[in-house]
Amino acid sequence: MSDNIEYKSYKAKIAYSLEDDLLVGKVIDVDSLILFSGSSLDEIKAEFKLAIDSYLEDCKEQGIEPEKPFKGSFNVRVGCDAHRKAATTAKAWGISLNEFVRVAIEQAVDRHGPAVGSVTVARTNVVAALDQAYIPTKPEAFRRSPQALYEARRH
């Protein structure tokens, strides 16, 4: 059994509100806040479709591109050397390459939150384990070498 419904590639999570005696829905996998409600399954499905159609129409009227839900997969071209190194490291850690990339992306996103200002990409050796990696969030810290940052964090 699922508590999600889908329309035009948008998905919504449905829950029951005891306080309101209503089914309530929220579109997931997009940043826009799209909410709807209904008193029956048929009504909540109709309201979901109306909410999506209204969202798409509003975007069109305002001349903005509507958000598209993310599917969770994408192709990345990293070059042969980086591919080989990532695959070798993943194998040494006993995980798949997909898992290695997923963990690396989650770590980068979770540790640093929303990007503010400019972003500097540094190419350096990965420390022994992903949970030991450290990337500075303060601009002045970017002026120090990655090894110095790691050493400073350990002390």
Q: Are the beta carbons of 44 and 25 closer than 8 angstroms?
A: yes
pLDDT tens-place string over residues 65-117 = 999 887 778 888 989 999 999 999 989 989 899 888 888 888 888 877 665 55
**Domain boundaries in the chain?**
4-62, 80-154
Can you give the pTM of this predicted structure? 0.54
Binning pLDDT at 50, 70 and 90, where does residue 131 land? Answer: very low
Q: Are the beta carbons of 120 and 136 closer than 8 angstroms?
A: no
Between 153 and 25, whose confidence is greater? 25
pLDDT tens-place string over residues 63-76 = 999 998 877 788 88
Between 62 and 111, whose confidence is greater? 62
Q: Could you give the CA distance from residue 33 to residue 26 in angstroms, rounded to a whole number?
A: 7
Cβ contacts of 89 within 8 Å, gap of 6 or more: 100, 126
